[in-house]
Amino acid sequence: MGDFRMPSLGADMDEGTLLEWLVHPGDPVHRGDVVAVVDTSKAAIEVECFEEGVVDDLLVEPGTRVPVGTPLARISTDGAVRAAVPPSPVTVSVPPATAAPPTHDEHVTASPLVRRLAAEAGVDVETVHGTGHGGRVTRADVQAAASAAPPAPKLRRPVTVPPERAEVTERRRVTPYARRLAAGLGVDLATVVPLGGPDEPVRAADVRAAAGGPSTPPAAAVDAPTEPAPAPPTTPPPRAAAAAGIRDTIARLMARSKREIPHYYLTQTVDLQAALTWMGDRNRELPVGERLLPAALLLRATALAVSDVPALNGFWVDGAFVPASGVHVGVAVSLRGAGWSRRRSTTPTGSGWSSSWPRSRTSPCASGPERCGAAS
């Protein structure tokens, strides 16, 4: 007996809705068969079962939303079947957070905000056990201390009021270092007057002045290595033929052929759609270097036409027409930057067209028919 369970179909899927059963009790099922449709809240997905057997019982009605792992159907299996994998989540042991290091100062450290809260709550911050980083007293520590203490005669600020938003302007601005210094020197910050004026924050020098101590910290030993300064940048940094012979030959030969060989022109419009479709399908199955270009079809058609009409293929010799013994179709391909090549076929019914065609590595024509204007 095996269960078909609500599968997990994504890392963020915790539950799913059974939309539809594609099997009925009594149906045989095979591993990999789609048996139900499940809505994952993103999409409806067909789901498969991993058992071989017969559907025994459908446990969940369509439309029901259940957690991943819930059995949806019971499948009775014959003989030895691998046990279904139970959905036991992987447990990862997380080490406990390391204990906060002991505070390195002899007196309690607390931020200005916490000290103000403590004062308002009537809590002596020096007596509070700090649970923050490095043993610092946190707002929660003060609040805990305040609630543990007997009710102060003074009204405490309700904790529901965000203290940091309340009466910020009342706070005296004292730098963290000055606060620490004042605590260490036993100076009451309320008595300290900033030397820079009433709008300035209380700084360390003000605390020292109030304590009557030295104006510079005694421990401030200055013992830093000095290194030569780099030279400043001065100015911005500074930024810093031809195959004429071949073309000449081509021109002379073309002029000569025009002069000595009779030319005649026939026009016929042909729908090339079928031919181009055939060619495209054929090309897709061939290495690129062996593919045909549309010009090849025209050349082949020309050769076949001349075969059909021998009167068009021959020489005028000594006042009489002499049919040619074969069909010779010539084509010259201009190779960009690499001269030109001639190809000729004497067997128009043969299959040598593609194999005699220039390779794509040397001929630009194989890259696309639009580049073949240079062919003659």
Partner 1 sequence: MTGRGLLHEMLRVRRFEERCVELYSAERIRGFLHLYIGEEAVAVGLMSALEPTDPVVSTYREHGHALARGVPMDAVMAEMFGRVTGCSRGRGGSMHLFDASRRFYGGNAIVAGGLPLAVGLALAARMQGRPEVVACFFGDGAVAEGEFHECLNLAALWRLPVLFCCENNLYAMGTAIARAQAETDLALRAASYGIVAWPVDGMDVLAVREAAHRAADSVRSGGGPCFLEMRTYRFRAHSMYDPERYRDKAEVQEWRRRDPITLLTDRLRAEDSLGDGDLDDLEKEVATEIDAAVAAAEGAPLEPAEDLTRFVHSDPVRTP
Partner 2 sequence: MTAAPATAVDTTYREAVREAIRDAMRRDDRVFLMGEDVGRYGGCFGVSLGLLEEFGEERIRDTPLSESAFVGAGIGAALAGMRPIVEIMTVNFSLLALDQILNNAATLLHMSGGQLAVPLVIRMTTGAGRQLAAQHSHSLEGWYAHIPGLRIVAPATLEDARGMLWTALSDPDPVIVFEHGSLYNARGSLPSDAGPVDIDHAAVRRAGQDVTLVTYGGTLGTTLAAAEELAGQGVDAEVVDLRTLRPLDDAAVLESVRRTHRAVVVDEGWRSGSLSAEVSARITEQAFYDLDAQVERVCSVEVPMPYAKHLEDAALPQVTDVVAAARRTVG
Q: C-alpha distances in angstroms, 248 versus 241, 245, 333, 335, 337?
A: 14, 5, 16, 15, 15
Give phi and psi for 256, each to the nearest 5: -70, -45
Q: What is the DSSP string of 248-291?
A: HHHHHHHHHHHHHS-----------HHHHHHHHHHHHTS-GGG-
Residues 95-124 that bind partner 2 (CB under 8 A): 105, 109, 111
Least CB distance to partner 1 at residue 288 (A)? 3
Among 153, 238, 245, 373, binds partner 2 (CB under 8 A): 238
Find, among 155, 130, 207, the residue nearest to 176 by Cα.
Answer: 207
Among 79, 86, 212, 262, binds partner 1 (CB under 8 A): 86
Determine, following the binding rule CB under 8 A, whether residue 74 of this chain makes contact with partner 1: no
3-class secondary-structure state, position 119? helix
Determine, following the binding rule CB under 8 A, whether residue 369 of this chain makes contact with partner 1: no
Question: What binding mask, one character per residue, do residues 184-213 give for partner 2 by CB under 8 A, x or -?
Answer: -----------xx---xx-xxx--------
- Residue 289: which of partner 1, partner 2, none does it interact with, CB under 5 to 8 A by kind? partner 1
Element (H or E) spanning 105, and its range? none
Residues 148-187 that bind partner 2 (CB under 8 A): 175-180
Find, among 234, 348, 371, 233, the residue nearest to 293 by Cα.
Answer: 371
Among 87, 196, 310, 330, binds partner 1 (CB under 8 A): 87
- Residue 155: which of partner 1, partner 2, none does it interact with, CB under 5 to 8 A by kind? none
Find, among 355, 204, 199, the residue nearest to 291 by Cα.
Answer: 355
Find, among 294, 307, 308, 310, the residue nearest to 346 by Cα.
Answer: 307
Find, among 3, 78, 4, the residue nearest to 48 by Cα.
Answer: 4
Stretch that binds partner 1, among 90-98, 124-132, 226-234, 297-305 (CB under 8 A): 90-98
Q: Note whether 104 and 139 are within 8 A (CB).
A: no
Pairwise CA distance, residues 294 & 356, whole Å: 15
- Residue 85: which of partner 1, partner 2, none does it interact with, CB under 5 to 8 A by kind? partner 1
> How far is C-alpha 7 from the geometric centre of its chain's CA atoms?
28
- Residue 208: which of partner 1, partner 2, none does it interact with, CB under 5 to 8 A by kind? none
Find, among 235, 229, 184, 230, the residue nearest to 211 by Cα.
Answer: 184
Letter string b/e over residues 147-166, b meaning 16 or more CB atoms within 10 A of that residue's CB: eeeeeeeeeeeeeeeebeee
Residues 338-357 that bind partner 2 (CB under 8 A): none
Residue 54's DSSP bridge partners are 28, 76
Determine, following the binding rule CB under 8 A, whether residue 338 of this chain makes contact with partner 1: no
Among 24, 80, 83, 95, binds partner 1 (CB under 8 A): 95
Question: What binding mask, one character per residue, do residues 53-92 give for partner 2 by CB under 8 A, x or -?
Answer: ----------------------------------------
Contacts with partner 1: how many residues (CB under 8 A)? 42
Contacts with partner 2: how many residues (CB under 8 A)? 35
Stretch that binds partner 2, among 9-17, 114-122, 236-244, 318-326 (CB under 8 A): 236-244
* Type of residue numbered 326: G
Among 45, 205, 209, 275, binds partner 1 (CB under 8 A): 45
Residues making contact with partner 2 (CB under 8 A): 105, 109, 111, 175-180, 195-196, 200-201, 203-205, 220-222, 224-227, 229-240
**Interface residues with partner 1 (CB under 8 A)?**
5, 7-11, 13, 31-32, 40, 42-45, 47-48, 50, 68-69, 82, 84-87, 89-90, 92-95, 283-289, 291, 360-361, 366-367
